[in-house]
Structures are given as C-alpha cells and as structure tokens.
Amino acid sequence: MARRKKIYEGKAKTLYEGPEPGTLVQYFKDDATAFNAEKHDVIEGKGVLNNILSEFFMLGLGQIGVPTHFLKRLNMREQLVRSCEIIPLEIIVRNYAAGSMSKRLGIDEGTQLPRPIVEYCYKDDALGDPLVTEEHIAAFGWASQQDMDDILSLALRVNDFMSGVMLAVGIRLVDFKIEIGRVYDGDFQRLVVADEISPDSCRLWDIKTGQKLDKDVFRRDLGSLTDAYTEVARRLGVMPNNPPAPGKPQLVN
C-alpha cells in the first residue's frame, strides 16, 4: 500500500490524509505523556482502548444530536473523522474539584462543585496550555461570541451525556477536556466535538471505592494504566475482541 501522507503528529495520536477530501484518518498511538510531555512512556494497548472508547462516546453523542467529527472506526487503532479546523482551546468541564483546580484554589480533590464549571485553556504546548478567560478568547479572536455560546452549550451537553453513561456503570465523571472543531458545509460553519474522548482526557473514579480509572494512574504512578482503561471498557461493554494482553503477541494493524 502506498505510504499515506501524514498531516499532523501529536503526543497520543497521528492524523493521516483520509480516503476522500474532507476526511482524515486518526491513528491512536500507545504513547502516554504527562506534564507537557516531561513524563513519557509507551503503554501497550492504550491506543486500541482509546480508539474503541472514543468511538463509543462519539457515537453516543451523535445519537443524542451532539455533532462530532467521528465518521467510523476503521480498525483497532484507526478511525475515519471529518477534517476540521481545531479551535485553539482546551475546554474543561469540572463536576468535582481535582487536579489543577484543586491546586489553584486549594479545594480538596473530590469536593463536589456547586454546579459544573467550564474552563478554557489556550492550546499552546510551549506555554503549557495556560488558563484563559472569555475576554482573552474574544480579544485575540480565537472564537467569536456566537462560537463561545455554542461551545458552552456543547460542553454542558457532553457533560450530561458522559456523566450519565458513567454513572450507569458505577463511575463518577470528575472532569474532562474536549476540543472543538469547525467544519464548513459550503459557506455554512458548524462546530463539532473533535479530537478524542477517552480516559486520557477525563477523570473517572469508581463511585464506591474512589479508585482512579483514568490517566492520573500514569501521571501519579498508581499502577497499570491498561488495567484501568480495560476496566472502563469492560464496564461499558466495549472490550475489543483481541484485548491487549501484556506479554502476548499483538495483532499489528
């Protein structure tokens, strides 16, 4: 097969030119990074799990009318997505205090917030994705006021959907990050949920035990990341047919 054109390589995913104009192939790598890639490891099977979990969440969002970039899963590590212009913001929704919010505001991790809180970070690795306000976003033209209204409404709908799906399998959605892209239908612009939704970009705690089932397991050296993500996939009923089993031969896609 001819070598595909690589469009972009990020820390956990690579984007290749898709088979048709306006499409991309999103390849999920096994790389795990934290603290702006200061910490890095390759965790066998992570890409397979995130591909399948992101497919599951994006399909579910589509079913409740939240537009996403997802078109279809191609194989164990790749999905076909609509090409879009990523708005340079990380949109974070928090239901319970944790991570950088707990540090910044001195609130104990796990404290329930009075209502979901939405934060914006400017996507710039060199700057460490700094927290920004809507004033910055408007002044620097990263998104219009209309975009911001739409982004807030999308973020809260994703939060309600994800919270409900997780609650049903005994998992608390503490917080998560999404990215939003613009797609153009002729002159008409629409915003869609893009990138990925996976345990890499959420905080997921077992409701009964508080056990962490997300990338904090890697960030904080709490055990096996594959075991944590496998548990999420198992509870949601989306375990891949060839589950990544450390030490066993892996199918190469």
Interacting residue ranges for ligand TMP, rule: CB under 6 A: 92, 98-101, 129, 175-177, 201-203
Closest to ligand TMP by CB, 22 vs 130, is: 130
Rounded Cα distance between 189 and 3, Å, is: 32
Long-range contacts of 187-193 (CB under 8 A, 24+ apart): 190/67, 191/67, 191/87, 191/147, 191/150, 191/151, 191/154, 192/67, 192/68, 192/69, 192/82, 192/84, 193/58, 193/61, 193/66, 193/67, 193/68, 193/69, 193/154, 193/158
What's the closest the beta carbon of residue 209 comes to ligand TMP, in angstroms?
19
What's the closest the beta carbon of residue 98 comes to ligand TMP, in angstroms?
6
Residue matched to tokens 């999420």: 232
Closest to ligand TMP by CB, 55 vs 175, is: 175
What's the closest the beta carbon of residue 175 comes to ligand TMP, in angstroms?
4
Closest to ligand TMP by CB, 23 vs 33, is: 33
Nearest C-alpha neighbor of 123 from the set 31, 36, 17: 36
Closest to ligand TMP by CB, 78 vs 129, is: 129
What's the closest the beta carbon of residue 101 comes to ligand TMP, in angstroms?
6
Neighbours of 139 (CB within 10 A): 10
What's the closest the beta carbon of residue 43 comes to ligand TMP, in angstroms?
16
Residue matched to tokens 């279809």: 72
- State which residue has the least CB distance to ligand TMP: 99
Closest to ligand TMP by CB, 18 vs 199, is: 199
- Given a contact cutoff of 8 angstroms between Cβ atoms, the answer to whether 228 and 214 are in contact is yes
What's the closest the beta carbon of residue 188 comes to ligand TMP, in angstroms?
29
Closest to ligand TMP by CB, 128 vs 164, is: 128
Burial status of residue 235 (CB atoms within 10 A of its CB: 0-12, 13-18, 19 or more): middle
Beta-carbon contacts of 125 under 8 Å, excluding residues fewer than 6 positions away, are 36, 37
